[in-house]
Structure 1
Amino acid sequence: MTGRTPEPTESPRPPEPVGEPRWPMAAAVVAAMALTVLLPDDLRLAPRWFIPTVEGLLLLALIAGDPGRIDRRSAALRSLSVALVAVLALSSVWSTVQLVDDILHAGKETSSATSLLQTGGTVWAGTVLAFSLLYFELDSGGPAARAHRVPSMPALAFPQHLEPRLSGADWRPRYLDYLYLGLTNATAFSPTDVMPLAPWAKIAMGVQSLVSLLILGLVVARAVNVLA
């Protein structure tokens, strides 16, 4: 009696990458560019057109290299993404420093309550966008890496990571999750529902909290002094 030849089994296919749409991240960059244009000349790192032009060119290169959904892993695209985040963060930090200097020395940009609130709000919103994009780009190797694998040890632990029953085992954070993180960290001055695990995440969230506290605290104090 001869045995049956076992049929060859097919090797399981790797799961398809789950890339998120590009447009939320692109919209955030465009909003940051608009905020830079709205800033007074004294608070910008470069001429009105320069920083938005650099950011726009980097964004266009990213869209051309990986349009639609973010799922293409490439060293060149990764370098462009990091460069874009670095420009945004540098511009935001520079504007914050200049705003603080203007408030402390009673500069013309903060001499009236209306100008103070407009300028302070613009700088503060720019920091929220810059840090949200920083978290978005650095967490677990960036959005393209997250599209191909669910991180086992994320740098930022969202509630869905801590309790998979809230979403599913294959859940990944999207840009709106990082925007929410940047907003809540800038208003509460501390982690809320997202816990930083990696050292860089703790440093970044700590720096953002201090920057936001500095901006809001000085703006409120100066506004009270102007209105008094």
Structure 2
Amino acid sequence: MSGSEKQTGDDQVPAWARRTAGESRWWATGAMVGLLGLQYFLPDELTPGPRWVVPAVGAVLLLVLVAASPYRLDREEMRLRRLGLLLMALLGFTMIWAVLRLVQGLIDGSVSDNAGGLLASGAGVWLSNFLVFALWYWEFDRGGPAARAHARKSYPDFLFVQMQNPDLADPEWEPQFLDYLYLSFTNATAFSPTDVMPMSRWAKLTMMVQSGISLITVSLVIARAVNVLK
């Protein structure tokens, strides 16, 4: 096969299934900054330790990651991968802590009896859930953004509409952070998959956990707030 024929064949492969330049890091970085800021403004009883600790540690990890790969997420290094996973673990631990503390407070009645404050706390926890899982989906699908840029894995963990209908999508389309943000939002509000299907077992389990957290948070906070208003 000649070089021109091989190039033509590669062009017919959708971007998500072949090597690309990698996506811009800034949407995901903006979500991480927003999530770290949100952690600072949560009530003290919903944060593990002083409220500045998680944002400070997270900011240091994020600055290292940005400095190492400031524009495109196509750099495959084990150290960077571990730092990224450490940041995801920190954000996830903080979110789970806030959910458990909120549920415990709702059950034993130790949370504020102010409906506005209760709804604000519940909204903060729900937003944390939404953003953390969006970042997890983005970080783990097909090995992460750098691995996706190098097309390391052939089979997707999440099946997007554009993958099912390639004739109706731009050949250069590939999933980026905003696609995972949409996936997380619809899963957190509908409590089930909508148009993005989980394919691997870890993806199904993770979506199930997110739906459960979202359902419990929303139902308990609303029920408590209605009771307070009465």
Same fold (TM over 0.5): yes
Q: Name the structure 1 match of 2:116.
A: 114
**Higher relative contact order at CA 8 Å, sep ≥6: structure 1 or structure 2?**
2
Q: How big is the shift at 1:111?
A: 1.1
For residues 85-140 of structure 1, what are the alpha-carbon distances to aligned partners after superposition, in whole Å with 9 as ceiling and x for unaligned? 11111110110000001111112x43110111100000100110000000000000
Mapped to 2, the partners of 1:16 and 1:157 lie a distance apart of: 18
**Could you tell me how far 1:150 is from its partner in structure 2?**
7.8
1:219 pairs, out of 204, 218, 221, with 221
Task: Measure the CA separation in 2 of the matches of 1:176 and 1:103.
Answer: 33
Same amino acid, percent of matched pairs: 46
User: Whole-Å Cα distance in 2 between the matches of residues 165 and 176 of structure 1?
Assistant: 21
TM-score (norm 1): 0.91
> Which residue in the other structure is 2:29 paired with?
26
Post-superposition offset of 1:149: 2.0
Pairing 1:134-173 to 2, within 5 Å after superposition: 134-149=136-151, 151-173=153-175
Superposed, 1:69-88 pairs within 5 Å as: 69-88=72-91
Q: May I ask how many residue pairs the two structures share in their alignment?
A: 219
Q: How well do the aligned residues superpose, as a CA RMSD in angstroms?
A: 1.8
Normalising by the residue count of structure 2, what TM-score does the alignment of the two structures yield? 0.90
Q: Which residue identity is paired with 2:66? A: I
Q: Is the 8 A contact 1:55 1:84 kept in 2?
A: yes
In structure 1, distance between residues paired with 2:100 and 2:19 = 45
Return the index of the structure with the highest Cα Rg: 1
- Secondary structure in structure 1 of the residue aligned to 2:221: helix
- Structure 1 runs not aligned, ≥5 long: 1-8
Q: 1:62 aligns with which of 50, 54, 65?
A: 65
Q: 1:16 to 1:146 in 2, by over 3 A?
A: closer
CA distance in 1, matches of 2:60, 2:152: 30
Equivalent AA in structure 2 for residue 141 of structure 1: G
For structure 2, the 5+ residue unaligned runs are: 11-17
